[in-house]
Amino acid sequence: MLMQPEQKHLIHLSLNWEKALKSGLVGSAAEIGQHCGLTAGRVRQIVRLSGMASEIVGFLAGLEGEKALRGYSEARIRFIVALPRVNQVRAFEEKFGVNLSG
């Protein structure tokens, strides 16, 4: 649960870590970091990805395979996390040329 699934987007790890923290399986981001060899800050940065709009999280979670994942790297989506949730879907759609609104 604490390691990233192969050929899956980083959002899966983010969701897993968020669940582990909320359920009490782990006590803190620092504990996850110790287990995975990361700083607590880096763990928090990854966990914040799961806080994006549900449409974006669902889209990213559905990506499989290296080719599909390449276009949606963490570096390319990181700016979305900082936006207000009401603006995230539109910004994601504009940046990546996809339609998440149905």
Domain assignment of residue 47, yes or no: yes
Domain assignment of residue 60, yes or no: yes
Domain assignment of residue 3, yes or no: no
pTM of the complete model: 0.87
Query: From CA 93, how far away is CA 102, in angstroms rounded?
Result: 11
Q: How do residues 36-59 score in pLDDT, each as one tens digit? A: 899 999 999 999 999 999 999 999
pLDDT (tens, 9 = 90+) of the chain, 102 residues, equals 666 666 678 899 999 999 999 999 999 999 999 998 999 999 999 999 999 999 999 999 998 888 778 899 999 999 999 999 999 999 999 999 999 987
Domain assignment of residue 81, yes or no: yes
Query: From CA 18, how far away is CA 4, in angstroms rounded?
Result: 13
Domain assignment of residue 43, yes or no: yes
Q: Is 26 helix (H, G, I), strand (E, B) or coil?
A: coil
For 69, the domain range is: 10-96
What is the number of structural domains in the chain? 1
Domain assignment of residue 102, yes or no: no
Domain assignment of residue 2, yes or no: no
Domain assignment of residue 40, yes or no: yes
